[in-house]
Amino acid sequence: MQHIKVECGYCPPENKKTQFHGTHQDWEMHPSWIAGVEALNAYGDWVSSVVLPIAFQWIEEHKPEVYATVPEDVKDDVGVAIAAAFKLVKELSAYQNGMKKRAAYEAAVADGTWNPSNTNPVWTGIVKKVRTETEEAFAEQSSLLGDTPR
């Protein structure tokens, strides 16, 4: 997962299978460790391949404002460009409204009134399936693994 800018333009990485998949042999580490590392890398690939191109499209559309305070020698630094853009985004109404909604969300979670049924239903379904299948895989081996941490 590469984060490269050339002449103030973002060079998105290829959208390919995570490079950590299969790096460790199945017998080398705890299954949860292997799954966790592979999942974390897949998340990083998703951010690099999907989220960052969206961010850099916004930066391209607002290039004069974003780069107005960025020193010439760091204009191709991904972190500096993101930081400069984020400084601008924090002033926009969508971000500020989102912060208000975030506070309301956290209050509702804290007092038990939050209804998550419509929040990220696809991702929620995937998480539940992965958790269930992981628990089932360990349960199938419980006669050998006993009650060791999973």
CA distance 42 to 4: 19
CA distance 75 to 9: 10
Q: What is the largest CA-CA distance in the chain?
A: 64
What does the domain layout of the chain look like in residue ranges?
Answer: 4-114, 117-150
CB 45 within 8 A of CB 10: no
**Amino acid at residue number 54:** I
CB 138 within 8 A of CB 150: yes
Q: Over its length of 150 residues, how does the chain's per-residue pLDDT go in tens digits?
A: 566 656 667 677 666 655 666 666 777 888 898 889 889 988 988 898 899 999 999 999 999 999 999 999 999 998 999 999 999 999 999 999 999 999 999 999 999 999 999 999 999 999 999 999 999 999 999 999 988 877
CA distance 66 to 84: 6
CA distance 76 to 126: 37
Q: Name the pTM for this structure.
A: 0.76
